[in-house]
């Protein structure tokens, strides 16, 4: 299990659940990932482009939008970093909410929203 942040077990029928996170590594459903990724209750999409919050560009939002979420949670790494708000216009135009926070906080928030049955998607920067 990861040292920095361990999460309670979840019913696997609820969707993909984050079990642990530490900088550079995340544990989802018993499988470890070492690169930025997109996560929804139905999908894990490894290899998401940004390595840091400074790398975030509109093109990286396209796969998040394709998941048709009610809310997108962006984890910006070890610390919360607010990118230019214009970056989120494609989501806002579709009525999708956006929350920006550190990746640790984004992991906890994703788990809560997913467990509540919300249509949530998370873009998690692990750097």
- In the chain, % of residues over pLDDT 70: 90
Helix count and strand count (H, E) for the chain: 3, 9
**Distance from the Cα of residue 22 to its chain's centroid:** 14
For residue 13, name the pLDDT band (cuts at 50, 70, 90). low
Could you please state the CATH topology (level 3) that the domain comprising 34-124 is classified under: Hypothetical Protein Mth938; Chain: A, (3.40.1230)
In the chain, domain spans: 34-124
pLDDT digit string, tens, across residues 41-66: 999 999 999 999 999 999 999 999 99
pLDDT at 8: 54
Q: What is the pTM of this model?
A: 0.90
């Amino acid at each position: 299990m990861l040292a920095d942040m361990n999460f309670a077990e979840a019913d696997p029928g609820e969707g993909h659940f984050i079990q642990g996170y530490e900088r550079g590594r995340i544990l989802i459903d018993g499988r470890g990932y070492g690169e930025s990724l997109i996560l929804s209750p139905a999908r894990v999409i490894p290899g998401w482009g940004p390595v840091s919050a400074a790398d975030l560009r509109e093109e990286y939002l396209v796969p998040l939008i394709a998941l048709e979420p009610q809310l997108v949670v962006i984890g910006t790494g070890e610390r919360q970093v607010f990118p230019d708000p214009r970056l989120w216009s494609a989501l806002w135009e579709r009525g999708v909410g956006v929350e920006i926070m550190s990746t640790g906080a984004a992991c906890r928030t994703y788990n809560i929203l997913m467990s509540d049955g919300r249509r949530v998607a998370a873009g998690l920067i692990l750097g």
